[in-house]
Amino acid sequence: MLGSLHERVLNGVGRLIVSGDLAPGDTMHAEHAEKQFGVSRSVVREAVRVLQNLGLVETVKRVGIRVLPMSHWNLYDPLVIRWRLAQDPNGAQLRSLTELRSAVEPRAAELAARFANDSITAELLGLAARMRSVGREGNLELFLQLDIQFHSLVLAASGNEMFAKLDSVIAEVLTGRTELGLMPQHPHEEALQWHVDVADAIQGGRPADAAAAMERIMTRTAREVEKIWAEEPRVYLER
H/E stretch holding 11: helix 2-19
Asked if residue 77 is part of any domain, the answer here is: no
* Cβ neighbours around 230 below 10 Å, total: 8
CATH code: domain of residue 52: 1.10.10.10
Asked if residue 44 is part of any domain, the answer here is: yes
Total domain count, the chain: 2
Predicted pLDDT of residue 56: 98
Q: Which domain holds residue 60?
A: 2-72
CATH code: domain of residue 146: 1.20.120.530
Say if residue 89 is preceded by a cis peptide, omega within 30 of 0: yes
Residues 225 and 147 in one domain: yes
Residues 52 and 146 in one domain: no
Half-sphere exposure of 138 (CA within 13 A, CB side): 3
Predicted pLDDT of residue 3: 64
Predicted pLDDT of residue 226: 94
Residue at which a domain ends, from 39, 72, 105: 72
* CB 229 within 8 Å of CB 94: yes
Quick: pLDDT tens for 144-199: 999 999 999 999 999 999 999 999 999 999 999 998 888 888 899 999 999 999 99
Residues 210 and 100 in one domain: yes
Quick: pLDDT tens for 5-31: 989 999 999 999 999 999 999 999 999
**What does the mean pLDDT of the chain come to?**
95
- Percentage with pLDDT > 70 across the chain: 99
Residues 6 and 33 in one domain: yes
